[in-house]
Chains A and B, each alone.
Chain A
Amino acid sequence: MEPWVVATTLIFLYLLVTIVLGVVANRRLSVDMEDFLLYGRKAGFIVLYLTVVATYHSAFAFLGSGGFFYTHGIGFWAAGTWTLLVGAITYVLGSRIWALGKAFDYMTPADMLADFYESEGVRVVTALVSVVFTILYIQVQAQGLGYILSVASGDRISFEVGTLVLLVVAAGYLMAGGLRAVYWTDVVQGVWMYLAVWIGALVLAFKLFGGPFELWREVAARRPDLLTLPGPEGFFTPGMWFGMGIALSFGIVFQPHMMIRYYTALSGKTIKWLGATTPIYLMTLYIPAAMVGLGGALVLPGMEIPDQVFPELLFRYAPAWLTGAILAGATAAAMSTLDSILHSNMTVLTRDVYQRYVAPGATQAHYVWVGRILVVGLLAVGYVLSVGTFEFLVTLVTLSGSGALQLMPGIMGVCFPARRLFTRAGILWGIGVGLAVLYYTLVIHPHPLDLHGAVWSVLANFLVTILVSRFTSPPSEETVRRIHGEVERFVYGDS
């Protein structure tokens, strides 16, 4: 049977599985916001584990990471540091966020920040940051999906049609089953993509080099520049290594699709288990990615688009059934992130905008339906961005990774009680200055002094937040006692 038939069939079989899961999730759905948007706050460890890791690792796990190893060498193993940081942040901060969400019915990052800083301005800015800087990921994942399907079908399914089909499927099961559908499909996706990357990398390593250890020896003999820092193109300087660690740990955890997951856990202990164990999956996924990228640099030198190294190697050297299974795994990786971002943007727009300002007294069923309509809108925006070419997109994608990082002072101020408090004015000015510095240090004058722009932006943000807070009014004593009191009860009392 021809490879494209196997590959396309397996991908469509996988899509069928997700559709069935969406239908089953719909049958279990209670038509209220807490169930539709937050899984009823009942996510157990296994489901939460797999949805977190599946959401974190997107199409980038299949395409981009191999491409990074291919171009910049072993420096991308820095990914281990930021995945370990994600675990630690989840353990310490995520558990506090969970506790506050449970106590005060928070559903979004803006709920928490607006409550503590007593400010609708903070709510609006947080919601804007949450949506604007992640809506681009819809486009990025959708493009990855379109590419995977067109490659898998040997261009028989065009990029545009492939993007649309996969966007519609993801939006469909989300609309049907809410976050329950997202989580259940993420369970399948999390397992499938991990196995797919590992099996694919090992098969290629054995086929092309005689095994992983032989692969390393061959790389050392022919391309030793790939095995030391800063890499062949000088990318992994000390500043970039450190800065990417900050940007890709805190910056990702503070994005709404990750933060909302903390609210959905069954207990604080579930979050701590998550923090301690998710780095095992997240970090070890880069081991086969390294084999693919470094091996690919020897076997397919001079690729115009290094991100395509994994699918190119598969099509040339792997059996058709394996290529199909792995491309289905890549589809899973991209969809697991895409559905989470669609969900989080739907949640923020429904809760922080529609419920708050447009129709405050409507029924739960009404809000669920509004959420579903918003998903259709997001799908349309995502599709247009994916198939069009817009100059501003390049800038926005550059900024999006570190946009949510600007929420860091605000979140730390809520979750870590201290004598000196941040104020709403401090937070708002900090976010504004942080975003301006981010724009300057990522777009106008990238990475000054070789330090990642994200670090400059968050330093500026904290500095301004601290300074402005010294001269402006803090939250009321009552609010501080209520919210910081809850944090202290959680940390020092029963969890």
Chain B
Amino acid sequence: MAVVLFVLLLLLAEPPVVHGLANRIEPWVLGVPFLYFYLFVVYVALVGVLLWALRKGL
């Protein structure tokens, strides 16, 4: 489950998603451009999956 989740989230940070849907400046989110904020959220979610796997003892 953790592997699947990790891979799915990683795909959100890869083309074509990152070059298509996420590739914009607007809207600004919390004072930073959209692409930057989007990737930050995906990266934090990926860290979350790793920590969850650790907690579960996987």
Residues of chain A having any CB pair with chain B under 8 Å? 74, 77, 80-81, 84-85, 87-88, 91, 212-213, 216, 220, 224, 227-230, 238-239, 241-242, 245, 272-273, 275-277, 279-280, 283, 290
Q: Given the known inter-chain contacts A241-B18, A241-B19, please indicate yes or no for A220 contacting B50, CB distance below 8 A.
A: no
How far apart are B22's CB and chain A's nearest CB, in angstroms? 9
Whether A283 lies near B43 (C-beta < 8 A) is: yes
Contact code string B2-24 (vs A, CB < 8 Å = 1, else 0):
00001000100111101100011
How many angstroms between the C-alpha atoms of A242 and B13 in the bound complex? 9
B residues in contact with A276, CB < 8 Å: 47, 50-51, 53-54
Hey, which chain B residues are within 8 Å of A280, CB to CB?
A: 47
Return the chain B residue nearest A81 by Cβ. Answer: B13
Per the bound structure, the CA–CA distance linking A85 and B10 in Å amounts to: 9
Which A residues touch B36, using CB under 8 A? 74, 77, 216, 227, 290
Q: Which of B10, B16, B23, B50 contacts A275 (CB 8 A)?
A: B50
Determine chain A's interface SS by DSSP, over half rule. helix
Q: Check if A84 sits within 8 Å of B39, measured CB to CB.
A: no
Question: What's the count of A-B pairs with C-beta under 8 Å?
Answer: 83
Q: Are B19 and A229 in contact (CB under 8 A)?
A: yes
> In the complex the two chains form, what is the Cα distance from A241 to B16 in whole Å?
10
Q: Which residues of B contact A (CB under 8 A)?
A: 6, 10, 13-16, 18-19, 23-25, 31-33, 35-36, 39-40, 42-43, 46-47, 50-51, 53-54
Q: A277 to B32: give the CA distance in the assembly, Å.
A: 25
Contacts of A242 in B (CB 8 A): 14-15
Looking at the assembled complex, report how far the CB atom of A83 sits from the nearest CB atom of chain B, in whole angstroms: 8
User: In the assembled complex, which residues on chain A have CB atoms less than 8 Å from the CB atom of B32?
Assistant: 213, 216
Whether A216 lies near B15 (C-beta < 8 A) is no
**Contact across chains for A241 and B15 when beta carbons are under 8 A apart:** yes
In the assembled complex, which residues on chain B have CB atoms less than 8 Å from the CB atom of A81? 10, 13-14, 43
Q: If the complex has contacts A88-B50, A280-B47, are A220 and B33 also in contact, measured as CB distance less than 8 A?
A: yes
| A220 touching B43, Cβ below 8 Å | no
Say yes or no: B25 contacts A224, CB within 8 Å.
yes
Query: Which residues in B have their C-beta under 8 angstroms from that of A272?
Result: 54
Q: Are A216 and B33 in contact (CB under 8 A)?
A: yes
- Evaluate contact between A245 and B14: CB separation under 8 angstroms: yes
